[in-house]
Amino acid sequence: MALIKRLTPNSYQYQPVYKSYHKNSPILRVALVSDLDKASKEGQMWRSVVIVGIIFRQGNSYDFQEQEEFNISLPINENGRGMELSELLSFNGSLYGFDDRTGLVCAIDIEKKKAYPRLILRDGDSFSDKGMKIEWATVYKDSMYVGSIGKEFTTPTGEYLNDNPLYVKQINVDGKVSVLNWKNKFNAIKNAVRIYGEGYMIHEAVAYSVSDNKWYFAPRKCSNERYDDIKDEVRGCPYIISTKDFIHFNIINDPQHDFNKGFSSIKILPHDENKLIYLKSVEVGKRSETYMGMISTTGEVIMKEKLITKMKMEGIEFIPI
């Protein structure tokens, strides 16, 4: 049975979300999902918090206003962890959430406030008993591309364990999953900002622009030093990197960069693909915060970063108005 109904050849640009907006729409509706880590467990269920709100234009800038907040829950878990949703993506007429613990891909109905299991992705090349640590998702042509952190899996002090997070899953409109090895692509992105050797980059925010035929990567963390779990908390990455071919790259320096914050989700505005909205997460010690901001593809601040909540929200997506 097909994963989702086929709508058009271009399953992202011409879906209902885009039909409800026009270029320079003054109001855009968005949904956000949470990754509450161990706090996701609630009785015999695991939950994610959904925040729905509007982004509205104020002169040449934008602001955000929350409209409602609710929980979505499922019993699916792996070793007592589940529904730690790290990304939200609209694809072919449906809205999908992605769990970074179990590898679950679930359909989310905003109006009914429900989540429905669709797929479970496995780690690495898929021959694994461990769920994929999903951190980002975007649409390329007629498929969802779903990725992990984009760096080698290591111990907390940086000793190499495996390449599993370098694999990307391609999910077509019929639900077929293909496995892609992106090791060379992730290395090229890292090298584009002169990070080599034991230096690393962690990805949680990726978007593809149909109109520009360009990939955008907003790494959450990066460093020229070896990975270290504690030091990593304050290694927020200052770049947004774009490319058409993974050979030539354009680097945007983030004018609102703060080492405590890291990109956790990024989306391209409907019909206005020179603007990028994003979430940034803070996880320093016991401190947890989520900020929202907007930047142009040339590096101009369009929305000053705004504290949305002290919950960790790691996915944002546009939904019909």
Q: Which strand (E) or helix (H) includes residue 26?
A: none
What domains does the chain contain, in order, with CATH numbers?
Answer: 16-183+271-319 (2.120.10.100)
Q: What share of the chain is helix, strand, coil (3-state, %, to 5)?
A: 10, 50, 40
Largest Cα span, the chain: 52
Q: Per residue in 3-57, pLDDT tens?
A: 444 433 344 544 667 778 877 788 999 999 999 999 999 999 999 999 999 999 9
- Which amino acids are annotated as binding site for Ca(2+), given as ranges? 86-87, 135, 204, 264, 314
pLDDT reported for residue 273: 86
Mean pLDDT, residues 122-129 taken together: 95
Instruction: List, for residues 214-259, the tens digit of each pLDDT value.
Output: 999 999 999 999 999 999 999 999 999 999 999 999 999 999 999 9
H/E run at residue 188: helix 183-192
Report whether pLDDT(297) > 60: yes
| Residue list, annotated binding site | 86-87, 135, 204, 264, 314
8 A C-beta contact, residue 218 and residue 240? yes
